Amino acid sequence: MYSRTEQQGFTLIELVVVIVILGILAVTAAPKFIDISSDANKAVLESMGGAILSGSKLVYSKSIIQGVQNQSLTNIDIDGDGNNDVEVAYGYASGNRTTGIANVVELEDDWAYGDTFGGGSLHVTRSSLVGFSGITNNNIPITGTKCYLTYTPPTSVGLLPTVTYTTSGC
């Protein structure tokens, strides 16, 4: 009589089915892993936005101490050396790139920033997205990156500064 032997391993059809299933999973999961740099840029912007708002709140505390929190635009001394360090609008750091919030938060070589005409709002992005860092000599306008934050100081007494994010190009 014939003896039955047990099969070991997979048939060719089973192998093909497994490979097809793995291929489908890879195609659906790959975009999530490819989009990591975009998520990183967004996270870094949100981190900087939090630092900017925290710095502006600290400036507001100093404005209250100096009694200038209700003035539309003035300067305050932060470090007690007798020199005006930061321009404030209703107690919070203004959006001016040279005398406002940029003096409160360290925007070093990793960041490119510029303000709107008259210093109303400050736009900040990662310098790697525009080509250079600092205030000038950017290859791409900050708003052209579609990956930046905008700090806007309050426009009247009782309002808070805001940070808005544009992340469609991150």
- For the segment 4-26, the average pLDDT, to the nearest whole number, is 82
Give φ, ψ of 48 to 5 degrees. -65, -40
Report if residue 11 sits inside a domain: no
Report if residue 14 sits inside a domain: no
CA distance 96 to 169: 25
Residue 125 C-alpha from the chain's centroid: 7
Report if residue 87 sits inside a domain: yes
Please say if the pLDDT value at position 133 is more than 50.
no
Residue 84 structure tokens: 């005006």
Confidence band (pLDDT; 50, 70, 90) for 9?
Answer: confident
Report if residue 41 sits inside a domain: yes
Domain count, the chain: 1
Report if residue 5 sits inside a domain: no
* More confident of the two residues 141 and 43: 43
- Structure-token match 């997205």, residue found: 129
Give φ, ψ of 89 to 5 degrees. -120, 115
- Structural domain including 118 reads 33-166
pLDDT tens profile 27-46: 887 776 777 788 888 999 99
Give φ, ψ of 126 to 5 degrees. -75, 135
Report if residue 52 sits inside a domain: yes
Please say if the pLDDT value at position 134 is more than 60.
no
Report if residue 3 sits inside a domain: no
Report if residue 23 sits inside a domain: no
DSSP assignment, residue 65?
H
Q: Residue 60's pLDDT is what?
A: 95
pLDDT tens profile 89-130: 999 999 888 888 888 898 877 888 887 766 688 889 888 777
* More confident of the two residues 29 and 52: 52
Is 96 in contact with 119 (CB distance < 8 Å)? yes
